Amino acid sequence: MRGQFYVIGVGPGDPELMTLKAARLLEKCPVWFVPKAHQNGESTALTILAGSVSTEGKEILEHHFPMKKIRMGESVDAEVEAAWKAAAEAILAKLEAGIDVAFPTLGDPAIYSTGFYVCDTLLKTVPNLPISIVPGVSSIGASAAAVNQPLCLGDDRMVVVPATFENGQLRETLEQFDTVVMMKVHRVMGKVVGLLTELDLLDKAVLVERSSRSDQRVRRDWAAAVKEEPHYFSTIIVRK
């Protein structure tokens, strides 16, 4: 019988924010296929889960997924596509051998996770392949918790945007919604802070770096944040 493939959200960083289900399934799967952003770097997802689940006896297959922009509806960079295909082949080989495979992913799999590109690639080869998605605590919720704030209440409308991709639309988005969550902000801080200043929203905004981790920082020192470029794990919440 074919093995089962699980895409497992491991939360935003604090190992205690990993769900009981995530821990149980990771313990059950003999193979962990772990994504990493840099060829010679560590896997963030693996670092997080290793805080709660023992790695002993696990076959850990680390796989590099290049960090390049993916625009929905447009063709994908060849290097990125090759990484998805190689991942799908390696995972499928284990599944065909009857071995369960876990793909741990940062935060929640439903939010900008490579896990779903891998699922799509797998399904192109085996259309009926059973896949289980295990939700996790997203960095969005963890960032709101870091400032003891709700994201939305009553009839508030919230939107999540990948700030690196934003062109002229960010201004409009900031004007239209009650709460704007901006992810992937670290490279575009100057642009974002400039816009927040123009719209007189700087006092409604907060930057949360590495939410839920021991080195978490809640920041409103905008000039410094622009100058030094915050950590990749940074989210800005604007709540009017």
Ligand X SMILES: C[S@@+](CC[C@H](N)C(=O)[O-])C[C@H]1O[C@@H](n2cnc3c(N)ncnc32)[C@H](O)[C@@H]1O
Which residues bind to ligand X, rule: CB under 6 A? 12-13, 106-108, 111-113, 138-139, 142-143, 183-184, 208, 210-213, 232-235
The answer to whether 57 touches 31, Cβ cutoff 8 Å, is no
> Min. distance of Cβ 31 from ligand X in angstroms?
22
> Min. distance of Cβ 44 from ligand X in angstroms?
8
Give strand ranges (E) for 163-224: 179-183, 205-209, 217-219
Burial grade of 40 (CB within 10 A; 0-12, 13-18, 19 or more): exposed
The answer to whether 132 touches 6, Cβ cutoff 8 Å, is yes
Report the alpha-carbon distance of residue 192 to residue 219 in Å, rounded.
14
67 contact partners, CB below 8 Å, separation of at least 6:
37
Report the alpha-carbon distance of residue 34 to residue 8 in Å, rounded.
10
Q: Which is nearer to ligand X, 111 or 225 (CB)?
A: 111
The answer to whether 129 touches 122, Cβ cutoff 8 Å, is yes
For 167, other C-beta atoms within 10 Å of its C-beta total: 6
> Min. distance of Cβ 37 from ligand X in angstroms?
9
Report the alpha-carbon distance of residue 83 to residue 66 in Å, rounded.
8
22 contact partners, CB below 8 Å, separation of at least 6:
8, 9, 10, 11, 49, 104, 134, 136
Q: Which is nearer to ligand X, 108 or 166 (CB)?
A: 108
Q: Which is nearer to ligand X, 92 or 207 (CB)?
A: 207
> Min. distance of Cβ 36 from ligand X in angstroms?
13
> Min. distance of Cβ 188 from ligand X in angstroms?
11
Q: Which is nearer to ligand X, 92 or 134 (CB)?
A: 134
Q: Which is nearer to ligand X, 104 or 107 (CB)?
A: 107
Q: Which is nearer to ligand X, 111 or 180 (CB)?
A: 111
Burial grade of 191 (CB within 10 A; 0-12, 13-18, 19 or more): middle
> Min. distance of Cβ 11 from ligand X in angstroms?
8
Residue nearest to ligand X (CB): 107
Q: Which is nearer to ligand X, 94 or 113 (CB)?
A: 113
> Min. distance of Cβ 237 from ligand X in angstroms?
10
